[in-house]
Amino acid sequence: MRTDSTTTPDAAAGGDTVPGNTTGTGPKDIAVRTALAAFVALEQLVGGLGTAVLALGVLLWLVLSAVTVPIGVGLLLAIGALRALHRLARRERERLGRWGPEVVAPDPPPAGLRAALSDPTTRRELRWLARHGTLGLLLGLAGLLLPISAVRDVTFPLWWRLLPSDATSTSLGFGVAHSWTAAASVSLLGVAWAAVILGLTPGMAGLQARPGRSLLAVGPDTDLSLRVAELTATRAAALDAHATELRRIERSLHDGTQNRIVTVTVLLGAARRMVARDPSGAEELLERAQSAAEQALAELRTVSRSILPPVLADRGLAGALSGLAANCAVPCRTDVEAPQRCAASVEATAYFVVAEALTNIAKHSGAASAAVTVRARGGRLFLRIEDDGRGGADEDEGSGLTGIRRRVAAHDGTLTVASPPGGPTVLEVDLPAGS
C-alpha cells in the first residue's frame, strides 16, 4: 500500500505521484526524493512500454484493414481492430489510474463500424493510439534501456578483461578499451546515464502519460453527473451491504449463541439449587450446561469466521478457495493466479462471492461439476465461477445473486451473470485489487 506521497513537478504534468517524505529539505532528503521519483518514473515508462507495443500492433492492424478495404477484407479486419482499440484504451486507463488520479472513461462507443468511426470517443482513442504507439513506444524503450546501459557501463571496469580484444566497450556501440584507464572512462558514461535517469525520467513519464490522460478521459463537453450518480449508487450499495451484514451477525448471535447462553444460565441455576438434595441430578444438569456452553462457543467461532475468515490470513486467497472447493457438494476445481496479496476486504469479498456461488450451485443448479478461476492483473481481481447445471439463474428468485451484487458494488466492482435455460451458468466478477 502506497503512503505519504508527494508529487514532483514533472510527474504532476502526467498526474503521477511519487512516494517520499515531503517535509525534508536537506541534501539527503532531496537526494532520496530524486531517486524515488526516478525509480517510479522508470516503472511508469516500462509499464507504458507494454501498452505502447500493443498500441503499435493495433495501429498496424488498422493500417492493414484500411489498405485491404478495396478487396473486401478490410471491413472485417477493421471491426476486430476497433474492438482491440477499445480494450487497449480501457487497459491504459486502468494503468494510468494506478499512478495518479482516475481516468474517467467516457460512454462506451457504438458497436457499428460506421457509427464508431464518427464517434468522438473512438476518434480520440485513435489519436491516442497514434501517439502512444510511436512516441510512447520510444519513451518506454528509453525507460527500459537507460538503467541497463547505466549498470552496464558503470560496472564495465569489473569485467572488461573477459571480453574479446576487439569488442565494443561502451553501450553506445563504439570505442574499444585496451587499458584500465580506458575501461574506467567507460564508467563515466554510466554515471552520465544515471544523471539522465535522475534528471529526465520523471518528465519522460509525464510526457508518455499525457496523451492518455487528455484523450482517453471524458471530453470537456461530457456531463459528469452520470459518474456522480454512479458513485452515489455505489456508496449506497456499500452502506446497504454493511447494514445487511450487521443484521446477519445480530440475527446469528440472537437466535443461536444468545439462546445457548441463556440455556447455560438456567441449567447452572437449577444445578446450584439441586446440588444439596440431589447431587446426581445436579451433575447431569452440569453436563448439559457444559454441552450447551460448548455449542455456544462453536457458534461464536462460526459467526466470527463469517466476518473475516481466518483461513484467508493463514493460507491466502488460493488456499481459502481450495478449501471451499473441497467442501463443495459438487466436484469443483480451482485455478488461482494471484501472485500478490490483495486488500483484506477485497479478498474477503472474493471469498464470500465464491462461497455463495458454490452454495447456489450445490442447492439449485443440478450441476455435475463446477470451476472457479481467479486472476489478478493490472490492479484488478477477476473471478469466474461456472457450472454445467440447468441454468436459468434469476436474481429475483432469492438465489443469492442480489447479495453477491451488493458485496461487489460496495467495492465499485462489477458482476456479470450469464445463465441461459439449459446452462451453463457463468458468474464473472471484476474487483479492484486494492493495496
Same domain for 315 and 303: no
Determine the structural domain holding residue 281 and report its residue range.
225-307
Does the pLDDT at position 93 exceed 80?
yes
Q: Is 336 a member of any domain?
A: yes
Q: Which of 1-15, 60-74, 182-196 has the lowest mean pLDDT?
A: 1-15
Query: Per-residue confidence at 16, pLDDT binned at 50, 70, 90?
Result: very low
Q: What per-residue confidence (pLDDT) applies to 1?
A: 33
Q: For residue 5, count other CB atoms closer than 10 A to its CB.
A: 13
CA distance 314 to 51: 36
In this structure, are residues 55 and 67 in contact, taking their beta carbons and an 8 Å threshold?
no
Q: What per-residue confidence (pLDDT) applies to 231?
A: 62
Same domain for 257 and 230: yes
Same domain for 103 and 56: yes
Q: What per-residue confidence (pLDDT) applies to 225?
A: 63
Query: Per-residue confidence at 144, pLDDT binned at 50, 70, 90?
Result: very high
Q: Is 220 a member of any domain?
A: no
Q: Which residues contact 74 (CB under 8 A, 6 or more apart)?
A: 64, 65, 66, 67, 68
Q: Is 10 a member of any domain?
A: yes
Same domain for 426 and 327: yes
Q: Where does a domain end: 195, 215, 235?
A: 215
Same domain for 237 and 89: no
Cβ neighbourhood burial of 57 (10 Å; 0-12, 13-18, 19+): middle
> 162-190, pLDDT tens digit by residue?
777 767 667 777 777 777 887 788 888 88
343: domain CATH number is 3.30.565.10
CA distance 92 to 47: 10
Same domain for 176 and 94: yes
Q: Whose CA is closest to 49, among 110, 109, 113, 135?
A: 135
Q: Is 400 a member of any domain?
A: yes
Same domain for 242 and 317: no
Same domain for 289 and 426: no
Q: Is 103 a member of any domain?
A: yes
Q: Where does a domain end: 215, 245, 274?
A: 215
Q: What per-residue confidence (pLDDT) applies to 22?
A: 44
Q: Is 145 a member of any domain?
A: yes
Mean pLDDT across 236-258: 68
Q: Is 50 a member of any domain?
A: yes
Same domain for 186 and 49: yes
DSSP state of 377: E
Residue 19 three-state SS: strand
Same domain for 140 and 23: yes
Same domain for 315 and 302: no
Count of domains for the chain: 3
Q: What per-residue confidence (pLDDT) applies to 208?
A: 94
Q: Is 290 a member of any domain?
A: yes
Calculate the dihedral angle through the C-alpha atoms of 197, 199, 204, 205, rounding to the nearest 10 degrees: 80
Same domain for 241 and 300: yes
Per the prediction, the chain carries an average pLDDT of 80
Q: Where does a domain end: 256, 280, 307?
A: 307
